[in-house]
Structure 1
Amino acid sequence: MRLVTITVLSIIPIALMVLTATGYFYTTLRLAGRWIETVYLVIIWNLLYQTVLRGLSVAARRIAWRRALARRQNLVKEGAEGAEPPEEPTIALEQVNQQTLRITMLLMFALFGVMFWAIWSD
């Protein structure tokens, strides 16, 4: 994937220079502007995506820590009372993380697609 990215990033400016040399000045200006906007879009999308992933990771750790703390407090109460409270079903944290990640990915790709279309639609 890295090789493809480097190749594309190298070929596009060369293609724009060839278009300029053959006399397509206005077309080259329009394509170059849209290409630069697309590069900015990819950079901003990547930053936003990584920030969202980090936020989801921190939230999942915080939930796991609170559950562990509550479980520990229940064990202390059980030891003091001697009675065992009924076990409540808990939602699997990993399953919730995967579902949230899928929804986030869907929304992020939809946002990227709409923005990409907005840049290149003309």
Structure 2
Amino acid sequence: MSITSVADPHLRAHTESRPTVEVTALLNEQHYGDATYMTKRQLFATWPACAEDRQTAKHLWKPPGEDGESLAVGVLGRARAFVASLEERAPSVVAVTHHTAILALRSVLEYRPVTELVVESLFLKAGFEVCSAG
């Protein structure tokens, strides 16, 4: 979706100097398949075998059901497609999205493995400071 015209001529000049707004499904949250709208407690109660995989390999874990996607494959693939679609047309981009999509975008833009970013995120969530080795 793009802002292309405004009927009121007084508003038109103001709107034309504003950035273009686009909405894309490429930055949607991770698809949770059959677990969509479930809390973690509900997910693990319904599929107990998922608990260890989700906790130990969050980036590889694929939610149950046909439409479930992992961070490392599905979400990261969409983030790559989003960045590739930008080409040279957007010198600055503001992305408003969900946690897993942000991790995937950071992986693409920072040339860092998504596994490293997941671990970093867990450390920050737990209140630990993260230092880079550079």
The two structures have a TM-score, normalised by structure 1, of: 0.29
The two structures have a TM-score, normalised by structure 2, of: 0.27
Higher-helix-fraction structure: 1
**Larger Rg: 1 or 2?**
1
